[in-house]
Amino acid sequence: MLQKTSHFMKQANLINGEWVQADSGQTVDVINPATSLKIGTVPKSGAAETRRAIEAAEEAFQSFRKTSALERSALLRKLHDAIMDNQDALAELLTMEQGKSLTEARGEVGSSAAYVLWFAEEARRAYGDVVPSPWRDRRVLVTKEPVGVIAAITPWNFPSSMLSRKLGPALAAGCTAVVKPASQTPYSGLAWGALCEEVGFPKGVVNIVTGSAGAIGDELCANPLVKKLTFTGSTEVGKMLIEKCASTVKKVSMELGGNAPFLVFDDADIDRAVQGAIAAKFRNSGQTCVCTNRFFVQAGIHDAFVEKLAEASAKLKVGPGLNEGVQQGPLIDVNAVEKVEEFIEDAVTKGGKVVTGGKRHELGGSFFEPTVIAGATAQMKFMKEEIFGPLAPVFKFETEEEAVALANDTEFGLACYFYTGDLGRAFRVMEGLKYGMVGVNEGIITTPEAPFGGVKESGLGREGGHQGMDDYLDTKYVCIGGL
């Protein structure tokens, strides 16, 4: 297996087309969460390496910005093909460092490629405007230009696809990039460097630096050559980065935490709702920002839904992601397990009932049983906080108004889901939910064609859709006079 992945498993920074170690020679270990064994190391870099990467990106920008949209589109299409040609190898590398099942890893790599292809197409449609002029002797033009060097900080839960949503539009727009992948899962990020080199992106266009989040992040935020920071991760870190970017007035886009509600009304197709619930909850072992955090089920079907959800959850096959047929891998580390345990303990002491699961899996390590808790109440911690694990709390509600109010009672506003067979209710509830994304009778809704992003404290900006290009482009107004 390592044979296949080794070509992409880079254990070095990529700066100005060179694979290099940290100045100090120090490294960080990368651990396979399914075995707790070391896979390899990456450089423990800091501000100095980051500064060099930024300077390389700035130099590369001077020529990359002049490439035509068609040239960039062609490079991105090649990148798409290279990802798909190596889907299995990239998926194995992803499973090894992140833990998700091979099926999900293949899906994530496929999704990365799909975003790249989408932005290869969008590269050619970064239209400006010619606006009817209020003057007889002047013309009004509005053009779009790449913002310049962008910095991308990505998380460990989707180390491949989160980067594709940032690098795709950045490269399509003509920007150059400095990337900092999460230290737990750096190899899927570094693989982007190998792939970009392979398909012919010029040196310095994509730079990748691993190591100290604080030191690298501070330099990315403070350096005036960086014109935009794009971040996916926790709301806490996101807020800090927004503040740090204020000193140089950078554009920021933020994909932060969620607290997704999943509403099931009495008139819903219950089997479809259970199927959607399993996908929306247990995908990536519950470690996604759009995973359901709270289930709200109407009284008339509550008991039947809980029974069916528990039955389906208990059937999920837990194990090492590389094993055939596994549906739920380990959590990223033992800290994540402890957090889930805290949520369960808090709920049980406040009257919640564990219907299935509830404890560490017999496989040990960071494996955890898919868990359903009934009798959830607004006093329990998961009402406000993101679980990020395989725990499904179920609340009971009576009326539509009550359900929408409960769903909105959070500072987050990323994704939400609801199931109903009533058309009027579908519109009322969709309009009432204060979220950036709504799944109606669907539990998995992400696709490159649609804008992904949140409202409230879940973030700023959108990734994917034609909107996904906006954050990487500056608008320039040109007035041509003297006609």
Question: Between 21 and 234, whose beta carbon lies closer to ligand ADP?
Answer: 234
* Residue of 255, 386, 400, 463 marked catalytic: 255
* Options 175-183, 301-309, 370-378, 404-412: segment touching ligand ADP (CB under 6 A): 175-183
CB of 217 to ligand ADP, least distance (A): 2
Verify binding: residue 339, ligand ADP, rule CB under 6 A.
Answer: no
Of residues 46, 233, 321, 393, which one binds ligand ADP by CB under 6 A? 233
* Options 229-237, 259-267, 336-344, 359-367: segment touching ligand ADP (CB under 6 A): 229-237
Helix axes 87-98, 102-122, angle to 10 degrees: 120
Verify binding: residue 334, ligand ADP, rule CB under 6 A.
Answer: no
Verify binding: residue 182, ligand ADP, rule CB under 6 A.
Answer: yes
Question: Between 48 and 70, whose beta carbon lies closer to ligand ADP?
Answer: 48
Question: Between 55 and 386, whose beta carbon lies closer to ligand ADP?
Answer: 386
CB of 275 to ligand ADP, least distance (A): 27
- In the residue annotation, 255 being an active-site residue is answered as yes
CB of 279 to ligand ADP, least distance (A): 21
Chain-centroid distance, C-alpha 249: 24
Of 9, 33, 387, 363, nearest to 184 by C-alpha is: 33
* Options 64-72, 234-242, 349-357, 374-382: segment touching ligand ADP (CB under 6 A): 234-242
* Options 67-75, 154-162, 322-330, 408-416: segment touching ligand ADP (CB under 6 A): 154-162
CB of 50 to ligand ADP, least distance (A): 11
Environment class of 450 (CB within 10 Å of its CB; exposed 0-12, middle 13-18, buried 19+):
middle
- The three-state DSSP-derived secondary structure of the chain is CHHHHHCCCCCCEEECCEEECCCCCCEEEEEECCCCEEEEEEECECHHHHHHHHHHHHHHHHHHCCCCHHHHHHHHHHHHHHHHHCHHHHHHHHHHHHCCCHHHHHHHHHHHHHHHHHHHHHHHHCCCEEECCCCCCCEEEEEEEECCEEEEECCCCCCCHHHHHHHHHHHHHCCEEEEECCCCCHHHHHHHHHHHHHHCCCCCCEEECCECHHHHHHHHHHCCCEEEEEEECCHHHHHHHHHHHHHHCCEEEEECCCCEEEEECCCCCHHHHHHHHHHHHHHHHHCCCCCEEEEEEEHHHHHHHHHHHHHHHHCCCECCCCCCCCCECCCCCHHHHHHHHHHHHHHHHCCCEEEECCCECCCCCCCECCEEEECCCCCCHHHCCCCCCCEEEEEEECCHHHHHHHHHCCCEECEEEEECCCHHHHHHHHHHCCCCEEEECCCCCCCCCCCECCEECCEECCECCHHHHHHHEEEEEEEECCC
CB of 154 to ligand ADP, least distance (A): 6
Question: Between 181 and 352, whose beta carbon lies closer to ligand ADP?
Answer: 181
Verify binding: residue 183, ligand ADP, rule CB under 6 A.
Answer: yes
CB of 61 to ligand ADP, least distance (A): 22
Question: Between 91 and 237, whose beta carbon lies closer to ligand ADP?
Answer: 237
Instruction: Report d(CA 210, CA 366) in Å as an integer.
Output: 24
- Contact characters 292-321, ligand ADP, x per CB under 6 A: ------------------------------
CB of 151 to ligand ADP, least distance (A): 10
What are 480's strand-pairing partners? 139
Looking at beta carbons, which residue is closest to ligand ADP? 217
Number of residues that bind ligand ADP (CB under 6 A): 14
* Options 15-23, 179-187, 313-321, 371-379: segment touching ligand ADP (CB under 6 A): 179-187
238-297 residues near ligand ADP, rule: CB under 6 A: 240
Question: Between 156 and 305, whose beta carbon lies closer to ligand ADP?
Answer: 156
Question: Between 143 and 183, whose beta carbon lies closer to ligand ADP?
Answer: 183
Of residues 21, 41, 133, 234, which one binds ligand ADP by CB under 6 A? 234
Strands 139-146 and 473-480: antiparallel
195-214 residues near ligand ADP, rule: CB under 6 A: 213-214
CB of 287 to ligand ADP, least distance (A): 8
378-437 residues near ligand ADP, rule: CB under 6 A: none
Place of tokens 């539509």: 400
Q: Using CB under 6 A, list all residues that contact ligand ADP.
A: 153-156, 180, 182-183, 213-214, 217, 233-234, 237, 240
Which residues are part of the catalytic machinery? 255
